Structure 1
């Protein structure tokens, strides 16, 4: 869940990008930032660290995200300047959500224990479309072997848990009640 500050920064960047006609380009930049930060615990630690100098954070981020849009690089500069570089990932996530909402795209996240095949992915997309009534659905897939089987589906604030681990947990609770 993004902080209010992250949402405010994301709204400001989206407004600026829409005015310039670069909202889609910045959306791609924000996806790149999210993916990079999600895959690098070290980078997240550097951004949170009070020991690392602001100029070093700025230089590192500019090197990593070289070639990104001016709006994106300005956002990085601003966050570093205001000692808020730690929320860069949250700003990127918030931007993506706001952009999708502005385009009428519903975002859904599905978590499975194994990779989805195309047939199952199509069924999930169809189900999300029927639930939301939206023709545009963005499906984000995560793999989490700890759910053992089944799936977790999150659409907006609603989560449907059809995982094997959840079903086993319910059975365990039921047994413990009866003992």
Structure 2
């Protein structure tokens, strides 16, 4: 197999004129300082609430009646806490609104892994399993929606609403003491 079909540099023509190239195609030079942005109304409070909910959810996951070596009790719980405490509405690409909302690749990968830990969930009640899936699904969705539309998520109350869902899920699935 040969690569003769690829054009050579001479066949491609001259470099495009930056004046004629649309602004959304041109790469801006990277600066040393991150650009200062205006915060959304209620951003600080909403992110603090999300971090607190993330810590409560991680604590709940660690307290589930599973063996201490269960993947769910450590790496998954850590990923829930890390994701909710590292939310960042500035972590998006302003051109196509894609980003990760401040959550690391490692945390996202661990959150995606819950589906592979179903066998470890055998000792859990149905309510606890449902709550665990609800918590992880919400935690996965928050950074995506935050990166896509931070204004609606923060100012529109979506982040607060999802945090309430997480709190409700772990509240319903807490072990009952009677």
Give TM class, smaller chain: under 0.3
Q: TM-score, normalized by length of structure 2?
A: 0.24
Higher relative contact order (CA 8 A, sep 6+): 2
> Higher strand share goes to which structure?
1
TM-score by length of 1: 0.24
Bigger Rg, which one: 2
Structure showing the higher helix proportion among its residues: 1
